[in-house]
Structure 1
């Protein structure tokens, strides 16, 4: 009886072993076929993919400039504090119009409303049209089709609009020179003295607010929140002495080949600084 049981168990185990071998062989064949199938599909799809990529290269390249434009706007919104008025003080002998124009356009793109450009030799003032043309050129080059969203208004020496360049304004650009500094205070004082002499005003009516209104003339531009000074000279070089009582100054080595990252780093420094306003 036990011999029959052993024989049955042996045959069962033998059958199971045979079934295992059959299943392993079947799986190996299926796996091999799957690999062959994948290789065949890859052989078909790779040329198609390569052809698609080659076809894409025939079209316009990816819009890196478009991504930069989106980044500029997002960077401005990410700052806790964004200056309304930025002054660009160039304390260098050699001036580069394209680099200055880039600075102005970047300020516009991050959302700054007023930009003043100043050099203590008055070179930009004397070549005002050349600078404005370069700003418009760089505005189109850097902002592309979105340039109309960042339109700019240029003010001449008397704070009047240059009508041939005025669009729906989102940014105001003014070119300054040393004449807008101490000499402007002298001219304002002379005007007040003449008005008193001609009995148009009384001496007791003259105060800080009246002088401030004369210095600002007809168009109100807020005081600079931030001045970016470019160059090795540790001086304000006569930049608007009346308007910079609460202005933050940040120095950079040079305006030549300055990058957007340099400017945004300065804006981040401004956003984190604490302005006590005399307290």
Structure 2
């Protein structure tokens, strides 16, 4: 086969793939519009109580779009989600915490909220997290466990008490302020399909959904992702 034929074949394959993704994008936009407009009735009755804790991971560049983030959180409150964690790697959302809270009367900080105060349909607790709650927090927790180990050693405690378990690490992470709940669902807004550094120890049973860039934020797509999660049966094992 000549190089010209190979080049033409490559162009044809590229064209077919481009058309496929273009049609898929149009279909998703249309579906999102139909959901938002209420034409698809099944999305009107969501068992949002099954979603106890939701995490939203935003790419650091997208996190600069604070108005989009505020709109997203407001939509989640309107849907009835009670507990949300906002994460970006560089801590931009943490730094913008005051602006976000000022524009959302329905939100309380995670540390301040409790089940009694969140009984209102559109009230939620909001946690802010960043990379400092990841590797740095793990290092602080490990250092705390080491100090405890050295203390036990100096007191001549039994060897069994010097063995660190998962429960010890969880307790240490909470002690350094990074032991938040494990999300049931994690929504990723950004160009790549990964959790972008969200603390891995909080993702043991988490469903992860890539939502695309934040600039393409759509209410229908958000509602669809939450609806699909409520239909999933999670098996946690023994």
Question: TM-score per shorter chain, which class?
Answer: 0.5 to 0.7
Q: Do the aligned partners of residues 203 and 134 (structure 1) sit closer, same or farther apart at CA in structure 2, a change above 3 Å counting? A: farther
**More helix per residue: 1 or 2?**
1
User: How far apart, in 2, do the equivalents of 1:241 and 1:202 lie?
Assistant: 32
Q: Do the aligned partners of residues 248 and 194 (structure 1) sit closer, same or farther apart at CA in structure 2, a change above 3 Å counting? A: same
Q: 245, 254, 258: which is aligned to 2:204?
A: 245
SS at match of 1:242: helix
Q: 260, 263, 276: which is aligned to 2:222?
A: 263
Q: Do the aligned partners of residues 204 and 109 (structure 1) sit closer, same or farther apart at CA in structure 2, a change above 3 Å counting? A: farther
Deviation at 1:77, TM superposition (A): 4.8
Q: Do the aligned partners of residues 172 and 195 (structure 1) sit closer, same or farther apart at CA in structure 2, a change above 3 Å counting? A: same
SS at match of 2:215: coil
Partner of 2:109: 154
Deviation at 1:168, TM superposition (A): 3.1
Deviation at 1:203, TM superposition (A): 6.1
Do structure 1's residue 90 and structure 2's residue 43 form an aligned pair? no
Gaps of 5+ in 2: 1-35, 37-41
SS at match of 1:135: coil
**Cα RMSD (Å):** 3.0
Q: 171, 190, 197: which is aligned to 1:231?
A: 190
Q: Any conservation in 1 of the 2:145–2:172 contact (CA below 8 Å)? A: no
User: How far apart, in 1, do the equivalents of 2:207 and 2:147 lie?
Assistant: 35
Relative contact order, higher structure (CA 8 A, sep 6+): 2
1:162-203: CA deviation from partner (whole Å, max 9, x where unpaired): 9xxxx9334210111001112211111110111221238876
Q: How many aligned residue pairs are there? A: 185
SS at match of 1:224: coil
Give the TM-score normalised by structure 2: 0.67
User: How far apart, in 1, do the equivalents of 2:165 and 2:235 lie?
Assistant: 25
Q: Any conservation in 2 of the 1:196–1:202 contact (CA below 8 Å)? A: no
Q: Do the aligned partners of residues 212 and 227 (structure 1) sit closer, same or farther apart at CA in structure 2, a change above 3 Å counting? A: same
User: How far apart, in 2, do the equivalents of 1:78 and 1:118 lie?
Assistant: 25
Partner of 1:168: 117
* 1:8-19 mapped onto 2 (5 Å cutoff): none
1:196-248: CA deviation from partner (whole Å, max 9, x where unpaired): 21238876343211211222347974310001001111221210211101100
Give the TM-score normalised by structure 1: 0.58
Gaps of 5+ in 1: 1-67, 69-73, 137-150
User: How far apart, in 2, do the equivalents of 1:268 and 1:193 lie?
Assistant: 44
Q: Any conservation in 2 of the 1:98–1:134 contact (CA below 8 Å)? A: no
* 1:64-213 mapped onto 2 (5 Å cutoff): 77-79=45-47, 82-94=50-62, 95-136=64-105, 151-155=106-110, 160-161=111-112, 168-169=117-118, 170-199=123-152, 204-205=160-161, 206-213=164-171
Deviation at 1:266, TM superposition (A): 0.6
Partner of 1:273: 232
